[in-house]
Structure 1
Amino acid sequence: TTLNQAKSRAQHAAAAVAEGAHWTIAATLSTLDVAALKVSEGASATEIANAFDRAASVLPIPPKLRIYTADGKLFGLSIGADVLEDISGTDSFEQLRNGTSSILGYQPGGGAGRFTVARRVDRDGAFLGALVAELPGEVLSRFAAPHVLGAGSTVSLIRGDGVVIARHPPLDQPLNLEGTPAWKELAKANQGSYLSEASPADGVSRVVGFQRETGLDYIAVASISKALAFGGLWYSIWVVSLLLAPFALVLLVGSFLTARLLRSAQASSQSLAKALDHNEQLFREIHHRVKNNLQSVTALLGVHAIPADVRSDLTQRIFAMSAVHEHIYKTSNFDDVRIKDYLHTLIENVRAGANPNITVVHDLEDVTVDTDAAGPLGLILNEVLSNCFKHAFSDGRAGKVSVSLKRVADNRVELSVEDNGVGFDQTIPAKGIGRKLVAGFAKRLDGEFAFT
């Protein structure tokens, strides 16, 4: 349904924001560690700031540094009208003074949303002050950009105590969600989605997705305007990246070899059962980790200037691979894949963002294939089906696309995609890489392909 699709989009976007924010905050804390070392050495404010700037130069959006003494006063740096000269008495500073090593906070002023990553500085247990790195709230929207949430959407970071520490678009004033209906929904699970009839920030009704990051004590939230979601905008899902495929392949091959050795070992039935159970958990964790790690890579790509059509093509290709890992760790079947369910997921993903006047009819036989073959087969379908939607009906006409999968021999299947669009001249050289990808994946499967 439209609501379920919107919930899925929002939750996936929230997961991307959580991964991107985790990387950004962790990297910022590392740069603060460099500055803290300089403080403990008794360096000047300029020396501390220079060390921080050098360490932060590798970040996509380098943060700004503020240095505060043990009594909460700004130390030694030129200030602007929107910089707090005294933070003594603030909740964040008092927590750092009382022993908290680091904390996320809301930074008022400046007419734009900003949030802070603060670190306690001490020497031999004695509190010396605080280092505060300031980041623009708009960095969150970059992590969610590949999901094209649309007008009226928001992305936020909420601290574990309910304080909204960052939001894009920014808030006019600080906001604590504790005790609100929204907070009750966010407290139910580590991840999920729900329909909010009225946002506690601006009263707008939105579909909300969230992901909790327990290690750094925050909740990433992404929301889609309810009016926009029910207006039929296309459904996009983020994904994993091919950049980590070699790493995943090594892990998977190692795990398969471990499983085979365990199955052939001469051990007691009880020991073998425990070993197999452990290995199954390892398989599930590997597939889940690969999926999550690549989401972080996808989120980082969002901060770079990539043409929208290229980003869309990459997203759909990566989703085709991501869906295999998700299907495997959810079904706990690591030897083969029921390809019907997997291909159905890919068809729905491609169709979600396409011309609604195009009908997709599919007749998929319920066959299983080896896990090594599922990914290439899915990528072939993704390339051909995406090409149909993009080129066969480029003039906006209504049409029909038929997808079929049938067994033609004991170890052979036939995948067919047909459309009644405008057709194409095979003698004209292709501008993209779609045909080359199809040819490469078909060769990898020891198969054949043909365009008619």
Structure 2
Amino acid sequence: MLIYSLIIGSLVYQGVNDAEERAEASATAAAKAVKINTGWIVEVAAQALRRMDAALGLEAQPNDTSTLISVRDALEGLPASAKAYIVAADGQTLYTTDPNFVNLDIRDREYFSAPAKGKPFFTSSLLISRLDGSQIFAFSRRLERGGVFIGVAIISFDAALLEDLLDSLDIGTDSTISILRSDGMLVARYPQTEAPLDLSQHILFTELLPQSEFGVYTSTSPVDGVQRVVSYQTVPDTELIALASVGTAETVGRFWHRVRIFLAIVIPTTLGLAICAIWIIRLLQRDGRRHEELSMALATNTMLFREIHHRVKNNLQSMQSLVRMQDLPEAIKTDIQLRFAAMASVHEHMYNHDAFAALDAPTFISSVTDKLFRAYGSSARLTLDIDPLTISHERATPLALLINEVVTNALKYAGLDKPDAEISISLKRMTETRARLVIRDNGPGFDVASARTGMGTKIIKGMVMQLGGTHSYTFEDGTTFSTEIDID
């Protein structure tokens, strides 16, 4: 029982650590999502503000219908809650897309005063709208003509737009996401706060951000006093920081709930497991005996396969002997015997190498060509350039017959009796299942048209068709046969 208790305690301890790690991973992934969305908001807002500046033209005149249309077009692609304003240097609103607009003097707002003092682009902190009391944040752009400040272009967003993002992240009911400014001011948060918030003295700004642009920490929220695992990510090329937090109480609470269910199941089943252990041991012993029997059966099947291929090879050799005994022209007997030999090479290779599924191409092709050169007593030099690939057993016999026929044609018709006579064979992989076969000689060549009705030509065409390919001959410094075939 002591050992059992230690095991359970160890599992619980490990489970708590795993729950904390999952909370950190969840918060980090969510913070990255908030960072991406924040970067997108900043980028599209900046582009929209540039389009609004361009739409205003050189003469910043109010009540121009085409300018208002261009201002509205500039908001295309932004969230539906986005509203645009162009405010002159004297505080007069020249254009707006806000249907509930009331003319107010906003020159005391930082998003106006900062551009008025020379800042080209400004991001506001969290604001309470003077029009409807909603929480908003804004981006503004300084407007100049001839180097003279003429006003500010502004785009505001409802802070509630973070709600949909938080819902899509699915990180728990007690979780939050936020956007902060690098000076510690809150820009937006969901769930929303009661008022704007200055976090410049929080540990995030006093200790963590000076050390790293991203990270994870556990802290009690200054907004609602809830302890959460918080991940932060700075948004590149902006003054903003993206935050996502996961409530530790909910995360650990879910774990302890699972622990209680686990113990409720484990304790009454412990005795049953002990009984099952004995039964499992017996099953393992029986499986061990069965495994041994299967191993013996596999060895027997392997032996039978070898015996089958050995007998097929012997039968083909017997057929060769019968052909030799027939009263046939010597050339015909040689051709028939070589075709049997090519087929026998396949089974001989399988028998000697236990290669029942696929054959090693270099060794296999070499065995086919060796028999041909010995049969014809040719002094021509044979060059093999074979990729280290394998040939499936279904393709091996057609390939052996194809090589046999083409090389036989070269030995019979290419006039390879000169000292530098040469036949080269290459097989190069093209794809996982396709290869290119090229057989070339340096003889004077032969007339393909005259050979079209011969048995060898018919075999070549039939074997190429079985191998899923097409073939061609070319004549330049000899004869070249080439085809692309399936090897698997």
TM-score, length-normalised on structure 1?
A: 0.48
Which of the two has greater helix per residue?
2
TM-score, normalised relative to structure 2: 0.45
Q: Which has the larger radius of gyration?
A: 2
